[in-house]
Amino acid sequence: MSPLLLLDEVGRDFGSPGALGSWLRRGLGHGERRIVRAVDEVTIAVGRQEVVGLVGESGCGKSTLGRIAAGLIAPSRGEVRVDGVAIAGLSAAVRRRSMLRVQMVFQSATASLNPRQTVREILLEPLRVHRLAPRAERDDRVADLMRRIGLHTGFLSRDPHQLSGGQCQRIGIARALTVAPDLVVCDEPVSALDVSIQAQILNLFQDLQESLKLSYLFISHDLSVVERVSDRVAVMYLGRIVEEAPVASLFGRPSHPYTVALLAAAPRLGAQRRVAAVVKGERPSPYNPPAGCHFHPRCPRAVELCRRVAPERREVAPGHWSACHLA
């Protein structure tokens, strides 16, 4: 059975000016524009009722990958498949239907809600636009959603600025759920929240996943958050997935040196005043990534081969993939 969502060898470049742009630039003597390869041929699947965590540092391409998964931007290369059907080949109307099954929750809840709409209008809009429920039932649907996200229906008449950060994020989640999706792409959904509120929202994500049988592609820079919610975790570095494994396997027996470094760098309670094994050096510019393995300039174990040849991903244990020559 094909997975719910499959990103098949997808890549995405930014800064490519297009044919007309290139012609104009050449004509004006500007030369070619610099292109950044934000996502570099990534394959990742999300199964039914599965939570796949995507971790990486800023600039690694995880948000771009999330936006491709949610259909917000098109990949430059490769295919997005929902239930095995390539989205790009569908007619506009069918594609829109198909992509309703994948929704998104954003990092900045306050910025992603329209300040001039009330909470009721925010939640009714998707139902109205996609003509999903008879008008008479829409208010019931919205009330039901409010119950699921743990907010009193009294909040429906409020404006976003009257809500706290945690409440805004609950509304952001409710809005994603209005169209009854199968998969929700969550892009750093708890990063902007205080710890006590973060715990509430993480629990809410878990409850909703169980009660609505949802799948998540859960993007975060925070390893402990990803560890908590995910069944499987993929680690990204400079546009590539360097390691992918079931959560226990990845955190218990990390294989890729970058994953090892990330785990060592994350401050953890109970590990007080230990000398951190620190990755030396800055992340290279994505405009000009190193040849071979992207991580080799910072990798303590790099050998000659790593400088020349980009490693293919290999299965190092059942279901545990690593893109490292030394794994």
Partner 1 sequence: MAPRFDGATVVLSVDRLRTVFETAAQTVVAVDDVSFRLHQGEVLGLVGESGSGKSMTGHSIMGLVDPPGRIADGTILYRGEDLGHASEDRLREIRGNHVAMVFQDPMTSLSPTLSIGAQLAGVLRAHRRIGRREIRERSVEMLRRLDIPSPEARLRAYPHELSGGMRQRVCIAAAMLNEPDVLIADEPTTALDVTTQAQILEEVRDLCRNTGTAVIWISHDLAVIGALANRVAVMYAGQIVETGPVAELLAAPRHPYTRALLSAIPGANRGVRRLPQLTGEVPAIGDVPTGCRFRPRCARADAACEAPPVLVACGIGREVRCVHPLSDADATIDGAIP
Q: Is residue 75 within the footprint of partner 1 (CB under 8 A)? A: no
Q: Distance between CA atoms of 14 and 271, rounded to whole angstroms?
A: 40
> Which parts of 215-254 interact with partner 1 (CB under 8 A)?
221-225, 227-228
CA 308 to chain centre: 30
| Radius of gyration of the chain, Cα coordinates, nearest whole angstrom | 21
Binding characters for partner 1, 160-189, by CB under 8 A (x = yes)? ----x-x-----------------------
By beta-carbon proximity to partner 1, the closer residue of 97 and 268 is 268
Q: Distance between CA atoms of 209 and 202, rounded to whole angstroms?
A: 11
By beta-carbon proximity to partner 1, the closer residue of 230 and 255 is 230
| Piece of 30-38, 81-89, 99-107, 199-207 that binds partner 1 (CB under 8 A) | 199-207
Sequence letter at residue 191: S
Q: Is residue 196 within the footprint of partner 1 (CB under 8 A)? A: yes
By beta-carbon proximity to partner 1, the closer residue of 282 and 312 is 282
> Which parts of 115-144 interact with partner 1 (CB under 8 A)?
none
- Per DSSP, which regions of the chain are E strands? 5-14, 36-46, 51-55, 77-82, 85-86, 102-105, 183-187, 215-220, 232-237, 240-246, 314-317, 320-322
Query: Tokens 């829409």 — which residue?
Result: 138
By beta-carbon proximity to partner 1, the closer residue of 132 and 197 is 197
Give the count of residues interacting with partner 1 (CB under 8 A): 42
Q: Distance between CA atoms of 327 and 315, rounded to whole angstroms?
A: 9
Size of the chain in residues: 327
- Name the minimum Å distance from CB 64 to partner 1: 17
Among 143, 200, 286, 313, binds partner 1 (CB under 8 A): 200
Q: Distance between CA atoms of 243 and 233, rounded to whole angstroms?
A: 8
Q: Is residue 58 within the footprint of partner 1 (CB under 8 A)? A: yes
Q: Distance between CA atoms of 61 and 38, rounded to whole angstroms?
A: 5
> Which parts of 266-305 interact with partner 1 (CB under 8 A)?
266-276, 278-283
Angle of CA points 152, 156, 157, to nearest 5°: 125
| Piece of 22-30, 43-51, 135-143, 260-268 that binds partner 1 (CB under 8 A) | 260-268
By beta-carbon proximity to partner 1, the closer residue of 166 and 292 is 166
Please choose, from the candidates 189, 196, 186, 239, the residue with its C-alpha nearest in 3D space to the C-alpha of residue 217: 186
Q: Is residue 111 within the footprint of partner 1 (CB under 8 A)? A: no
- List, in sequence order, every residue forming a beta bridge with 7; answer none if it has no partner: 44, 80
Q: Is residue 195 within the footprint of partner 1 (CB under 8 A)? A: yes
Among 9, 140, 194, 304, binds partner 1 (CB under 8 A): 194
Phi-psi region of 309 (alpha: psi -120 to 50; beta: other; left: phi over 0): beta
By beta-carbon proximity to partner 1, the closer residue of 210 and 304 is 210
Among 103, 107, 169, 198, binds partner 1 (CB under 8 A): 198
Q: Which token pair is 231? A: 């069944």
- Name the minimum Å distance from CB 132 to partner 1: 31
By beta-carbon proximity to partner 1, the closer residue of 141 and 228 is 228
By CB under 8 A, name the binding residues for partner 1. Answer: 57-58, 164, 166, 194-200, 202-203, 206, 221-225, 227-228, 261-262, 264-276, 278-283
